[in-house]
Amino acid sequence: MTLIEKINEDIKQAMKDRDQLRLDTLRMLKSKILTVDARGNLPDSEVIKLFKTYLGSLKEAMELSDSANRREAVERLKSEIEIVQEFLPKTPSPEETRKIVEQAIIDSEAKTKKDLGFVMKSIMKINNTVDGKLAKEIAEQLLSE
């Protein structure tokens, strides 16, 4: 079952369950796909890229809402983020991410922070589900030592 098919099934289920937040979030995900391809004929890899971008914008909105002290908005965004993450591949834990970064540094033969771009490229070759922000922070720590 492709991601678009899964979303369609989940939309039907959310309607039956009268879960408005889930329904709204799933419809937004579907609209992201249909914006790129009106028929929804995107490969799952492209759909995942779209969802990762959307997830990033949700996280950014949550941070802004948190800094503006809007608790109800933060809670809603947290719920939306959880729903979007259901459709994304599992990201490695911080410990696993550290091991991946260490391997990428060895593979790219990086010595200083100037080599960070090569390290990030190597990380994505090893495992493209890694949280890029966390991986960059770990790489900067390791390269500064």
Which tens digit of pLDDT belongs to each residue from 58-105? Answer: 999 999 999 999 999 999 999 999 999 999 888 888 888 888 888 888
> What domains appear along the chain, each with residue ranges and CATH number?
3-85 (1.10.1510.10), 94-144 (1.10.10.410)
* Confidence band for 145, pLDDT divided at 50, 70 and 90: low
C-alpha 13/C-alpha 77 separation (Å) is 21
pLDDT score of 132 more than 70: yes
Q: Where do the H-state alpha helices sit in 18-144?
A: 20-36, 44-67, 71-85, 94-108, 116-126, 132-144
Distance CA 80, CA 76 (A): 6
> Whole-model pTM?
0.70
